[in-house]
Amino acid sequence: MHITNLLSRHSLLSCALKRSPSPETTSPLLAEMASLESTLGMNGHEVALAWERWLDEIAAKARENGRVAQVLAGHEWDIGAL
């Protein structure tokens, strides 16, 4: 799996975790996040920073050429998942 897929998945799980009030849903989210962190070799804070840096890079490239969709299409991740 491409690193941007891992970073975006972690970000989505983090958002879901913030909205999850019950232990039944929280536990699997935490387990998957821990697995992603292990795969990436980062802790949660480092993953969040890497995701922010990646989004900043994409925004800069999009501003440079004015074609957001084209810049995003060059990356191996599911834009619809965001």
Average pLDDT, the chain: 78
What is the C-alpha to C-alpha distance for residues 11 and 80, in angstroms, rounded to an integer?
14
End-to-end Cα distance, the chain: 17
Q: What is the percent of the chain where pLDDT is above 90? A: 13
pLDDT above 90 for 73:
no
Reported as a single tens digit per residue, the pLDDT across 16-51 is: 888 877 888 888 889 999 999 999 899 989 998 998
Domain regions of the chain by residue span: 3-77
Instruction: Find out whether 37 and 44 touch, Cβ atoms under 8 Å.
Output: yes
Spatial neighbors of 62 by CB under 8 A, at least 6 apart, are 68, 71, 72
Provide the pLDDT confidence category of residue 82 given band limits of 50, 70 and 90.
very low
Spatial neighbors of 13 by CB under 8 A, at least 6 apart, are 29, 32, 33, 36
What pLDDT, on the 0 to 100 scale, is given for residue 77?
44
